[in-house]
Structure 1
Amino acid sequence: MRTLRIRTFTLLSLFLILSIPWLFFVTTHFMVTKSLSLGERQPHDPSLQKHLTETIQLIEMGADNWTNPDWQNKLNLQLRKAKLDAAIYNASDQEIYRSSSERNRALSKKEQFSVIEDGQLLGRAVIYLPNLNAVPMVGAFVGLLLSFFIVAMGMRRFILIPLYRMNLAARRIADGDLEVELPSSRITEIAGVRDGFDVMVRGLQKSHQKQVKLEEERRFVIAAVAHDLRTPLFALRGYLDGIEQGIAQTPDKLAKYVTVCKEKSAQLDRLVEDLFTFTKMEYLEAKLNLKPIDLKLVLQKAMDSLKPLVEQKQIVTSVRYSADDLTVIGDSHLLERAVSNLLDNAIRHTPLHGKIVVHCDKEDHKIALTILDSGPGFTSEELQHVFEPLYRGEASRNRSTGGAGLGLTISQRIIRQHGGELTASNHPDGGALLVGWIPNR
């Protein structure tokens, strides 16, 4: 839709206000005078011209009877017939005759002439013609009213009504109605305000949808955390009650109870740590402690921390570096956490006597980390949700193989915070394949 700037609308309004009265004035003037000459004093109406000539002749020929009542009555009849007024003065400029309605023609045009006979001035006559400008002035006034009406209707349609509707829409938006239909306008400035409101409404809609999504995720997190905390706590309390009540009477049974309690407490510690890290990454704006980091050292620390699990499952690990210098700029604590989560995921899904292969390669302007395990790999459904918070492939949420379902989510978000990316897939020869990369800055 084409729009009109408000200054252009104002200029067009002024043009209408000036041109329409002038057009009406010229039209009515032509209709009255039959001439477009605005300075014309003599009427061009043949009938009026004929009556004027007859009146002048009557006055000139009746100079001897100017004071005669019968003659004056005759002149009155002629003037009423011609719709004229007249006044007659003698040679001394004294008024001899004046028509009765002359007082109402003070603004009329005058036709003056002197009556001379045998070289002697007999008197002077004044004939008051109809005011030829009265009708054109009325026409100009009507045109002025019409122009004001047209401009007012234009302002109402293009400015006032859109602004009023914009005001109502703004109030509805303030009340939370984000589906309100914003009015359109042919005025550029108002259309710009409308577009601004539209952008604002779309932003509010996105913000509202994001808030709803976060609220749903928050509720889901709370429910999942309550479920995940209850299971190890329940088991831990049961074994502690057994120790307290003397159920574990032999040293071997007592050692078994203590071992289970340590495992459950370790699960709780890991769960709380995952939840804290996820909350910090997702809801808090934590600043990265950036400094040069050797990824070989980060990877070695992560491998050392998980060495007991590797030995317990008798997993064979293979680590290969493609370059000596694998330095990146990042947060050492977060990057170590991300790598540990990736390795922990691989260890948990690798069967006994399995194998894990880790490659750390330097490519162009980035360093890539590849982790391949000999486990069953991901299902097609798991590949679609593997990085979603609290998602785990086990429908029963059994903790024998899974954690809180936050490890891969945390790893991906840490790597993305460092300007990289983490993806998951299946190796053609079998097993899960996790590939992450970080810019080498």
Structure 2
Amino acid sequence: MIKGIRFQLIVSLLGVIVLPMLLLPVAGVNVESSRTGLDGERFSGVLYIIFTVSIAFICCAVALTRIITKRILLPLKDLTAAADHIVNGHLDFRIASGKQDEMGRFSAAFEIMRAKLQETMTQQAAYEQARKDLIASISHDLRTPLTSIKGYVEGLQDGIVHDKAKHERYLAVIRDKTEKLDELIEDLFQFSQLETGQLKMHYDTQDCRSLLEAIVQPLEREYRDHTVLLTVDRPFPCGLVRADRVRLTQVFDNLVGNAAKYAGKDAHIAILATISENRLEIEIGDDGAEIADHDLPHLFDRFYRGDKSRSSYLGGTGLGLAICKYIVEEHGGSIGVRVDPGQGNRFYCTLPLTE
């Protein structure tokens, strides 16, 4: 391709520049000869001049072609090779773009495209691996409670349980395992809605204080006799927010549930709400084990489960926090986590106030 373009440039330059310079003097000499009878010696001198000028123009054409080849065609050759690498799935390289001319800017734009494509493919590969891990984990999470349920049901059917207390314990285990299955299936169902854009919100303008009370009071009842101590800093601030109470309740159920699950027995979970810069800020802190630094940036990623041994033991799909993030961001807010060294973890959520 490069040779073809170079050849075309040379021919074009010869055709446009050199040939007219050759034809016009010859035509002029012929006309003059016909009028004045130009002698042979003088005509030979003119031809020598024409030949010399033609050689000079040819040399200029070749030099110009080399310059154009170096400044335009060689960068195009590099970009063509880079495109071939990308087509073959090889993105771990860089495209030099030192010049500030049009080709330099084009090469720089091509390099930005390559880098973004590489980043996207890396993220996609990580996402796909996490999805595969999740499928394997869910298969285990579904099989384990189902096996337990099957065993306890068969025990009840076979009539081997005659003691009433033992009978009640069997039923309690079946109920607990069924609830875990229900939570798992609900997470998967909501995630499928999130993926297809069908996780809808139903907003109402609500007072912050009444909204937070409606969210927190059921949590207080749930954790009243729990090994984890849950405290709430009252009174809540006043203000108006546009919110879906059901979805926000789901968010805080998940955040408090995670804190209770990972903080361990005798942990302290505190809920605090303030208003700052026209935003409602809710913080859920715990004094449990601090989240590892390498986990912090990924906690709200889909399928991320952190410490695999711990998450496998405690259950969970790695979707709960991703769903929380989606819900909060749909409200125009933000959600995150930070670690206070020596004091524990702080999950925070902000929602914009409305008039």
Q: Report the TM range for the smaller structure's normalisation.
A: 0.7 to 0.9
Corresponding position: 1:423 with 2:334: no
Looking at structure 1, the residues matched to 344 and 98 of structure 2 have their Cα atoms a distance apart, in angstroms, of 62
Match of 2:132 among 216, 219, 238: 219
- Give the 3-state SS of the residue equivalent to 2:234 in structure 1: strand
The equivalent of 1:43 in structure 2 is none
The equivalent of 1:75 in structure 2 is none
Corresponding position: 1:249 with 2:172: no
Q: Report how many residues are paired.
A: 320
* Alignment check: 8 A CA contact 2:97 2:107 kept: yes
1:339-390 Cα offsets, whole Å, 9 max, x none, are 11123234444646x76543322223111213345xx512353894482522
Shift in CA distance, 204/405, structure 1 to aligned 2, threshold 3 Å: closer
Shift in CA distance, 165/175, structure 1 to aligned 2, threshold 3 Å: same
The equivalent of 2:38 in structure 1 is 107
Match of 2:69 among 153, 156, 180: 156
The equivalent of 1:378 in structure 2 is 289
Corresponding position: 1:342 with 2:342: no
Shift in CA distance, 268/395, structure 1 to aligned 2, threshold 3 Å: same
Looking at structure 1, the residues matched to 337 and 208 of structure 2 have their Cα atoms a distance apart, in angstroms, of 19
- Give the 3-state SS of the residue equivalent to 2:188 in structure 1: helix
Corresponding position: 1:258 with 2:171: yes
Looking at structure 2, the residues matched to 173 and 372 of structure 1 have their Cα atoms a distance apart, in angstroms, of 47
How far off its partner does 1:198 sit?
Answer: 1.6
* Alignment check: 8 A CA contact 1:378 1:426 kept: no
Q: Which amino acid aligns with 2:337?
A: T
How far off its partner does 1:149 sit?
Answer: 2.2
- Give the 3-state SS of the residue equivalent to 1:178 in structure 2: coil
Higher helix share: 2
* Alignment check: 8 A CA contact 2:202 2:243 kept: yes
The equivalent of 2:276 in structure 1 is 363
- Give the 3-state SS of the residue equivalent to 1:358 in structure 2: strand
* Alignment check: 8 A CA contact 2:149 2:177 kept: yes
The equivalent of 1:173 in structure 2 is 86
Corresponding position: 1:395 with 2:307: no
* Alignment check: 8 A CA contact 2:291 2:345 kept: no
Looking at structure 2, the residues matched to 335 and 193 of structure 1 have their Cα atoms a distance apart, in angstroms, of 48
1:387-420 Cα offsets, whole Å, 9 max, x none, are 2522369637334xx6555544543453344322
Greater CA radius of gyration, 1 or 2?
A: 1
* Residues 53-202 of structure 1: pairs in structure 2 closer than 5 A: 107-108=38-39, 131-179=44-92, 182=95, 188-202=101-115
Looking at structure 1, the residues matched to 272 and 98 of structure 2 have their Cα atoms a distance apart, in angstroms, of 62
Q: Which amino acid aligns with 1:218?
A: R
* Alignment check: 8 A CA contact 1:323 1:362 kept: yes
- Give the 3-state SS of the residue equivalent to 1:361 in structure 2: strand
Shift in CA distance, 305/223, structure 1 to aligned 2, threshold 3 Å: farther
- Structure with the larger RCO, 1 or 2 (CA within 8 Å, 6+ apart): 2
Q: Which amino acid aligns with 1:108?
A: D
Match of 2:223 among 310, 314, 318: 310
Looking at structure 2, the residues matched to 383 and 415 of structure 1 have their Cα atoms a distance apart, in angstroms, of 23
Gaps of 5+ in 1: 1-12, 26-105, 110-127
- Give the 3-state SS of the residue equivalent to 1:135 in structure 2: helix
Shift in CA distance, 350/363, structure 1 to aligned 2, threshold 3 Å: farther
Gaps of 5+ in 2: 1-12, 26-36
Looking at structure 1, the residues matched to 179 and 72 of structure 2 have their Cα atoms a distance apart, in angstroms, of 70
How far off its partner does 1:433 sit?
Answer: 4.3
- Give the 3-state SS of the residue equivalent to 2:289 in structure 1: coil
1:258-297 Cα offsets, whole Å, 9 max, x none, are 111111111111222233334555x444565444234444
Q: Which amino acid aligns with 1:323?
A: P
Looking at structure 2, the residues matched to 322 and 300 of structure 1 have their Cα atoms a distance apart, in angstroms, of 8
Cα RMSD for the two superposed structures: 3.9
Shift in CA distance, 408/165, structure 1 to aligned 2, threshold 3 Å: closer
- Give the 3-state SS of the residue equivalent to 1:398 in structure 2: helix
* Alignment check: 8 A CA contact 2:96 2:108 kept: no
